[in-house]
Amino acid sequence: MANVVVSNFSIAGISACVPAQIEDNLTYPFFSEQEAVKFVEATGVRFRRTVTKGIVTSDLFLVAADDLIQQLNWDKNDIDILISVSQTFDYDLPATSIILQNKLHLSKSIAAFDVSLGCSGYVYGLYIITSLMSVSNFKKGILLAGDVSSICCNAEDKSTYPLFGDCGTATAICFDEGSKMYFNLGCDGGGYNAIIIPDSGYRNRVNVSSFELQEFGEGIRRSRINLFLDGMEVFSFGISQAPKTVNELKEHFSLNENDIDFYVFHQANLKMNKVIEKKLKINPEKSLYSLYNYGNTSSASIPLTCVVELKNKLHDNKNFNAVFCGFGVGLSWASCFLNLGRVRYLNLLEL
């Protein structure tokens, strides 16, 4: 696995925007009452935010980024780079980040591009943007991360639809002399079909049959343009690889458990994350969750959890440190150790 240190950059602030529409899994029509209760207990997901027609990921990004820039009182002309991490971009082309450069009224001299990653995407995004900034003499950057996964899932598929929520986040990165971020990164493309939309690109082109609904069991109907998730394979991968990447991060960089105040894992599901905690022997009080109210929000899950859980926990504690860990679609994984002591967590926004 890749172990990398990036110096002199830190997070200045994080914002998140979720759709105003709330769905309650206890009233999900394709669950029996008993199934609904068991699902919430196992996954930890009671409520989810899902977009209404016409709202896409970039709309959530726009609201989150605009508010973040304003609250930090940043001059938009000083922002050197904009990266968006998602798997639900506006178009196959052009890049959504370039469209957002215009909508956010950022400088035309800015570097902007998209990264197609899901569950591990936020940590990968942090590595990409800080690495590029460090070799380019950039001082300020914006990392966007999020998805509208509800659009990808079929509402009649109880194996996926009740798990995922929608969210767009923005993270401000700035030059901070002496600070360090420590990364551990990896992937295994042999498991690419464990989480996949079969007809969604150029290998399997969308055609008339792509829209045909197929039965995969009671309460599970989807087409080839809908998300497929192999629950058992993903669970096995998550409980194996997430502990490995965190342990390697800690071992390679000689990190002491006492140096870690909180862990923020990708919000996969409660059962999986609790097994990961147990394997890592983490004090449960150190592990933060946003699953109950927002579900699995793909690449947005780590920054969203920070926004809703850390805002009232920190009081300018400059020694506050955390481990982020993302894992999933790809299959891919990434973990990071960083200081969060001076990060501004903005109020959660709705659209």
Q: What residue spans of the chain are helical by DSSP H? A: 33-43, 57-72, 96-103, 121-136, 149-152, 231-252, 270-280, 291-294, 301-310
CATH assignment at residue 250: 3.40.47.10
Lookup: tokens for 213: 């609904």
Specify the number of domains making up the chain. 1
Q: Is the pLDDT of residue 95 over 90?
A: yes
DSSP assigned state of 296: B
pLDDT at 319: 76
Q: Is the pLDDT of residue 324 over 60?
A: yes
Rounded distance between C-alpha atoms, residue 51 and residue 155, angstroms: 13
Amino acid at 135: V
In tens, the pLDDT along 294-316 reads 999 999 999 999 999 987 776 55
Rounded distance between C-alpha atoms, residue 118 and residue 107, angstroms: 28
Q: Domain containing 239: what range?
A: 1-351
Rounded distance between C-alpha atoms, residue 23 and residue 165, angstroms: 9
pLDDT at 127: 98
Q: Which residues contact 89 (CB under 8 A, 6 or more apart)?
A: 57, 58, 95, 96, 114, 116
* Helix (H/G/I), strand (E/B), else coil: 43: helix
Largest Cα span, the chain: 57
pLDDT at 311: 78
In tens, the pLDDT along 222-262 reads 989 998 988 899 989 999 999 999 999 999 999 999 999 99
**How far is the first Cα of the chain from the last one, in angstroms, to the nearest whole number?**
39
Sequential DSSP letters for 116-181: E--TTHHHHHHHHHHHHHHHHT--EEEEEEEEEHHHHS-TTBTTTTTTB-EEEEEEEEEEEEEEEE
Band the pLDDT of 318: cuts 50, 70, 90: low
* Helix (H/G/I), strand (E/B), else coil: 335: strand
Spell out a b/e string for 162-186, using b for 16 or more CB atoms within 10 Å of the CB, else e.
Answer: bbbbbbbbbbbbbbbeebbbbbbbb
316: left (phi > 0), else alpha (psi -120 to 50), else beta? Answer: left
Q: Is the pLDDT of residue 172 over 90?
A: yes
Band the pLDDT of 83: cuts 50, 70, 90: very high
Share of the chain above pLDDT 70, in %: 98
In tens, the pLDDT along 103-153 reads 999 999 999 999 999 999 999 999 999 999 999 999 999 999 999 999 999
Lowest mean pLDDT among 14-18, 66-70, 183-187, 316-320: 316-320
Note whether 45 and 172 are within 8 A (CB).
no
pLDDT at 219: 83
pLDDT at 341: 83
- The pLDDT mean for the chain works out to 94
